[in-house]
């Protein structure tokens, strides 16, 4: 068990003092929200010494550091995680009990940090936790969004986006670091001067700029005194108000600088369905990349007598997907224009310093920017990208003479676009996928030309999750049970959890495990009743799909199948059917119309089914509003069935599948992403797999031969479901409401290809998988054995393992020990 020298008495004094100082109240008068702030500051005080000691040790050892660059970090709530990792949960709980407050209630006062949305951001947060726990020097670098993506409200079944004002009461764990502020420039033009050495030197003139201000948040390692840093950048105007412009009546121009800064950090992923949204996204990406690279290079120079020639020996920039691809060009800009290196010198350093993680198979998700926008907003960066592209095309021509198809497929600048994934690949020394299947598809399909030309760059790093967040913190009942059975080594060495396998046939252990699941289902049922007003039976099967809403993730398949089951129950009231609660949680991008209509459909179906007394509650449908890390922890702990049903070949990895597995749920899924490796670990008999393989999907996409109308014509049950989309069954006031969803499945009125993601093709296989779940759940002993094996077999899927592979094969960092 983690040993701590935490002083409970001092902590109590600190909380009382903080309440008095912050609010001029006694502890008895304070509200839970006020006590939360006081507790955070008291916890931060205990972290500060470790934080300082960590960075002193890094400087003393001149330790190589990875800068993990990501548009999003889905951190969740910090307080509970920090308390666990400093080893003070018992003492703080007791101290708060003595002060008359419940720790869980205090933790619930914290808003989720609105710094991310989906799996990409949550993965980044898990990686930071693992880096600190393993003792590796690292900075996370991102943006301090004022409102995050958005808080989701469901009104009349529709998603409504409202500002997520998570910073309205401040963030007690962050520290403003004005001393590291820097300037980021946009627009203007480039002037060229010939130096005394005959070289051309470039400078940006007539630009607009903002001041980037870093806010540092502690990332606490588990029980090892290591505290790394998440550095998120805020933007402030260089000049807040231009009086000359105001006096001339140019009122908007007078506050132009202020608005530029304000807009950059307002929201995550602004709607880019219009030009202004695209421009803002590009500004955001360059803003945080430029600020992060500038400060990293400056820090390195200060420690190495101003000489940047060996930067790559002490610094790695890891680009988390294509959003930070500008790293390659920005590092080149700094080395060329500020450090006055030659192109060859700068390129040698850059290509030994930058590494790239690809997170998507879908080519449309690989970012491309119109040349007109890119060159106007980032004129010097565009010049550098053009030169990288020119030199790369010469390499292609030298290696593949006369093959213009290669140039068309591989060029960084082509067809009026700057292709950011290509820039990242060309400028990086490592390119990794995030699951074995994903990496193979990249090598053999999407990035085949690059793999053929530079195979040494490509490697796989299957994603992982931190068990400290998603079991130790999120499911304390199960965490305590695991520790009672096998000790607590699993907290920092998850493969140790395989020791549970000796208990899977023990009836008493099976009952204990299933009782914990039942208690967690009661906890979630209370949450659903409080937030949705729906009564759900914790004895029903909790069948869960929670993830970002995208067509390839096939929430539409799930809800269409719920409609199918409902029709079957209505037609055959006495059919053999174990009660199910179908639980959805998802945000759709603000401009993603079809995804938002899927949310409306889920809620419309829920409204009909949940109010139909004739089915005796055999099906309930719940859409959990504003899905986020804090309610995800409740959901993962309570799930019986984990819906991982993306079209095979489309999901890079997935990490929700791992969180459900860790918490004892059975995967119902396709052989896609990390599902393939999950099935290998747990055994095919302990998962339920359906649908086409990735090879079959790719074959249909490349050669055709699939006609969803044939299925519509031949399968009466499917036809009935699809007709209910357009006959007003679920929208009596507007029978045409779901016409676009209907069209997307059967014709090309609203999509390039009918049923793009093969929903109807996989439908009956999906139904058979559900019927198999129905049978499996009836045998509670066999079910208990399977779910226990899922928990016991998830050792591979820790982010600790993933990070160690990055360290060993890409970053080459040294472990640092911090003694206090």
The full length of the chain comes to 820
Q: How many CA atoms lie within 13 A of 324 on its CB side?
A: 31
pLDDT at residue 260 is higher than 80: yes
Catalytic option among 548, 550, 587, 596: 548
Q: What is the pLDDT of residue 366?
A: 86
Tokens 């000790």 belong to residue: 487
Helical axes 476-486 vs 507-532, angle rounded to 10° = 160
Contact between residue 91 and residue 8 where contact means Cβ atoms under 8 Å apart: yes
What is the arithmetic mean of pLDDT over 55-63?
A: 96
Give the Cα separation of 294 and 334 in Å (integer).
Answer: 7
Residues 6+ apart with CB under 8 A from 88: 4, 6, 11, 43, 46
Contact between residue 87 and residue 4 where contact means Cβ atoms under 8 Å apart: yes
Report strand pairing: 151-155 vs 458-460. Answer: unpaired
Catalytic option among 144, 278, 359, 770: 359
Residues 6+ apart with CB under 8 A from 150: 161, 162, 163, 164, 267, 587, 590
Residues 6+ apart with CB under 8 A from 375: 382
Give the Cα separation of 757 and 622 in Å (integer).
Answer: 24
3-state helix, strand, coil split of the chain in percent (to 5) is: 55, 15, 30
Confidence of residue 240 (pLDDT cuts 50, 70, 90): low
Catalytic option among 655, 667, 798, 802: 655
pLDDT at residue 795 is higher than 70: yes
Confidence of residue 244 (pLDDT cuts 50, 70, 90): low
Residues 6+ apart with CB under 8 A from 668: 543, 641, 642, 643, 644, 645, 687, 688, 690, 769, 770, 773
**Tens digits of per-residue pLDDT, 178-212?**
999 999 999 999 999 998 888 999 999 999 999 99
Contact between residue 642 and residue 544 where contact means Cβ atoms under 8 Å apart: yes
Q: What is the pLDDT of residue 119?
A: 87
Give the Cα separation of 636 and 655 in Å (integer).
Answer: 12
* Cα separations in angstroms, 100 against 16, 17, 90: 12, 16, 15
pLDDT at residue 437 is higher than 90: yes
Which residues does residue 545 pair with via DSSP β-bridges, in sequence order?
584
Q: What is the pTM of this model?
A: 0.96
**What's the token pair of residue 301?**
């120079």
**Closest-CA residue to 633 (of 668, 662, 675):** 662
Catalytic option among 547, 620, 628, 785: 547
Catalytic option among 380, 457, 461, 659: 659
End-to-end CA distance of the chain: give it in Å, rounded. 19
Confidence of residue 250 (pLDDT cuts 50, 70, 90): low
**What's the token pair of residue 683?**
């055994």
Give the Cα separation of 433 and 524 in Å (integer).
Answer: 34
pLDDT at residue 241 is higher than 60: no
Number of Cβ within a 10 Å radius of residue 40: 22
Q: How many CA atoms lie within 13 A of 820 on its CB side?
A: 14
Query: To which H or E segment does residue 214 belong?
Result: strand 208-220
Q: Does residue 460 sit in helix, strand or coil?
A: strand
Give the Cα separation of 658 and 131 in Å (integer).
Answer: 19
What is the arithmetic mean of pLDDT over 450-475?
A: 98
Confidence of residue 276 (pLDDT cuts 50, 70, 90): confident
Report strand pairing: 175-176 vs 208-220. Answer: antiparallel
547 is catalytic: yes
Query: To which H or E segment does residue 370 belong?
Result: strand 368-370
211 is catalytic: no
Q: What is the pLDDT of residue 186?
A: 97
Give the Cα separation of 655 and 122 in Å (integer).
Answer: 9
What is the arithmetic mean of pLDDT over 273-285?
A: 90
Q: How many percent of the chain have pLDDT more than 90?
A: 92
Give the Cα separation of 154 and 628 in Å (integer).
Answer: 15
Q: What is the pLDDT of residue 166?
A: 96
Report strand pairing: 189-194 vs 417-419. Answer: unpaired
Catalytic option among 553, 561, 650, 801: 553
Number of Cβ within a 10 Å radius of residue 174: 21
pLDDT at residue 247 is higher than 90: no
| Per-residue 3-state assignment (H helix, E strand, C coil) for 257-300 | HHHHHHHHCCCCCCCCCCHHHHHHHHHHHHHHHHHHHHHHHHHH
Give the Cα separation of 35 and 46 in Å (integer).
Answer: 17
Give the Cα separation of 46 and 49 in Å (integer).
Answer: 7
Give the Cα separation of 544 and 580 in Å (integer).
Answer: 10
**Tens digits of per-residue pLDDT, 551-560?**
999 999 999 9
Biggest distance spanned by C-alpha atoms of the chain: 91
**Closest-CA residue to 606 (of 622, 586, 626):** 622
553 is catalytic: yes
In degrees rounded to 5, what are phi and psi of residue 220? -90, 125
Query: To which H or E segment does residue 194 belong?
Result: strand 189-194
Q: What is the pLDDT of residue 255?
A: 59
**Tens digits of per-residue pLDDT, 496-544?**
999 999 999 999 999 999 999 999 999 999 999 999 999 999 999 999 9
Which residues does residue 155 pair with via DSSP β-bridges, in sequence order?
158
Q: What is the pLDDT of residue 245?
A: 52
**Tens digits of per-residue pLDDT, 679-706?**
999 999 999 999 999 999 999 999 999 9
pLDDT at residue 124 is higher than 80: yes
Angle at 720 between CA 715 and CA 726, to 5 degrees: 130
185 is catalytic: no
Q: What is the pLDDT of residue 1?
A: 47
pLDDT at residue 9 is higher than 60: yes
**Closest-CA residue to 681 (of 359, 435, 434, 514):** 435
**Tens digits of per-residue pLDDT, 318-331?**
999 999 999 999 99
Q: What is the pLDDT of residue 820?
A: 80
Number of Cβ within a 10 Å radius of residue 503: 19
For the chain, the average pLDDT equals 95
Which residues does residue 641 pair with via DSSP β-bridges, in sequence order?
543, 666
Instruction: Check residue 466 and report its DSSP letter.
Output: -
Q: Does residue 154 sit in helix, strand or coil?
A: strand
**What's the token pair of residue 465?**
């999750």
């Amino acid at each position: 068990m983690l040993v701590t020298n935490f002083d409970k008495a001092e902590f109590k004094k600190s909380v009382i003092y903080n309440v008095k100082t912050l609010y001029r109240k006694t502890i008895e008068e304070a509200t839970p929200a006020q006590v939360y702030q006081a507790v955070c500051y008291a916890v931060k005080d205990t972290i500060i010494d470790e934080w300082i000691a960590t960075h002193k040790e890094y400087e003393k050892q001149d330790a190589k550091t990875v800068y993990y660059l990501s548009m999003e970090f889905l951190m969740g709530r910090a307080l509970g995680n920090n308390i666990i990792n400093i080893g003070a949960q018992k003492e703080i709980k007791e101290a708060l009990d003595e002060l008359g407050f419940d720790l869980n209630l205090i933790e619930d006062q914290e808003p989720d940090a609105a710094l991310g949305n989906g799996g990409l951001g949550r993965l980044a947060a898990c990686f930071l936790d693992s880096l600190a726990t393993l003792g590796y020097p690292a900075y996370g670098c991102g943006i301090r969004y004022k409102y995050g993506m958005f808080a989701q409200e469901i009104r009349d079944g529709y998603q409504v986006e409202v500002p997520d004002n998570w910073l309205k009461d401040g963030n007690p764990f962050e520290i403003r670091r004005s001393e590291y502020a820097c300037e980021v420039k946009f627009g203007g033009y480039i002037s060229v001067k010939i130096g005394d050495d005959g070289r051309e030197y470039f400078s940006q003139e007539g630009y607009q700029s903002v001041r980037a201000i870093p806010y540092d948040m502690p990332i606490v390692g588990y029980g090892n005194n290591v505290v790394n840093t998440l550095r998120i950048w805020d933007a402030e105007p260089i000049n807040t108000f231009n009086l000359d412009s105001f006096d001339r009546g140019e009122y908007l121009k007078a506050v132009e600088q202020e608005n530029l800064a304000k807009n950059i950090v307002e929201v995550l992923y602004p709607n880019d369905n219009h030009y202004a949204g695209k421009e803002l996204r590009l500004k955001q990406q360059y803003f945080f990349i430029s600020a992060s690279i500038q400060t990293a290079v400056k820090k390195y120079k200060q420690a190495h007598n101003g000489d940047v020639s060996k930067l790559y020996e002490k610094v790695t920039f890891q680009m988390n997907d294509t959003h930070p691809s500008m790293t390659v060009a920005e590092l080149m800009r700094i080395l060329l224009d500020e450090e006055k290196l030659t192109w060859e010198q700068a390129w040698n350093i850059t290509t030994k310093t930058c590494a790239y993680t690809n997170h998507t198979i879908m080519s449309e998700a690989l970012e491309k920017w119109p040349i007109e926008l890119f060159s106007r907003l980032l004129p010097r960066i565009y010049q550098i990208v053009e030169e990288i592209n020119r030199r790369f095309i010469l390499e292609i021509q030298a290696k593949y003479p006369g093959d213009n198809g290669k140039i068309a497929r591989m060029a960084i600048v082509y067809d009026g676009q700057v292709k950011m994934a290509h820039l990242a690949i060309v400028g990086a020394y490592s390119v990794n996928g995030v699951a074995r299947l994903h990496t193979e598809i990249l090598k053999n399909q999407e990035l085949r030309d690059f793999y053929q030309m530079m195979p040494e760059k490509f490697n796989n790093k299957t994603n992982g999750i931190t068990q400290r967040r998603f079991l130790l913190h999120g499911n304390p009942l199960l965490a305590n049970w695991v520790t009672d059975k096998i000790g607590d080594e699993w907290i920092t060495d998850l493969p140790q959890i395989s020791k549970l396998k000796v208990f899977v046939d023990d009836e008493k252990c099976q009952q204990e495990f299933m009782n914990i699941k039942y208690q967690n289902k009661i906890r979630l049922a209370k949450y659903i009743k409080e937030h949705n007003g729906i009564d759900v039976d914790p004895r029903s099967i909790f069948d869960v799909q929670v993830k970002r809403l995208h067509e390839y993730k096939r929430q539409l398949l799930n809800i269409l199948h719920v409609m199918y089951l409902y029709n079957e129950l209505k037609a055959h009231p006495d059919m053999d059917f174990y009660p199910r609660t179908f639980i959805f949680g998802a945000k759709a991008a603000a401009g993603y119309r079809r995804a938002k209509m899927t949310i409306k459909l889920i809620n419309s179906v829920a409204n009909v089914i949940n109010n139909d007394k004739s089915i005796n509650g055999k099906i309930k449908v719940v859409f959990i509003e504003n899905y986020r890390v804090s309610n995800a922890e409740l959901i993962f702990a309570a799930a019986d069935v984990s819906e991982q049903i993306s079209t095979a070949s489309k999901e890079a990895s997935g990490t929700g599948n791992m969180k459900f597995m860790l918490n004892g749920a059975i995967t119902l899924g396709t052989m896609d992403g990390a599902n393939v490796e999950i099935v290998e670990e747990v055994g095919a008999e302990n998962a339920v797999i359906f649908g086409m393989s990735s090879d079959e999907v790719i074959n249909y996409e490349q050669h055709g031969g699939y006609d969803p109308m044939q299925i519509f014509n031949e399968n009466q049950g499917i036809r009935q479901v699809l007709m209910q989309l357009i006959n007003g069954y679920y929208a009596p006031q507007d029978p045409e409401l779901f016409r676009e969803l209907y069209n997307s499945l059967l014709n090309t009125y609203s999509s390039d290809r009918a049923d793009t993601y093969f929903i109807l093709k996989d439908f009956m296989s999906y139904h058979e998988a559900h019927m198999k779940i129905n049978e499996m759940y009836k045998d509670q002993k066999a079910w208990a054995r399977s779910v226990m094996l899922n928990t016991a077999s998830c050792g591979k899927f820790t982010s600790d393992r993933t990070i160690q592979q990055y360290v060993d094969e890409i970053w080459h960092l040294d472990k640092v020990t911090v003694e206090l």
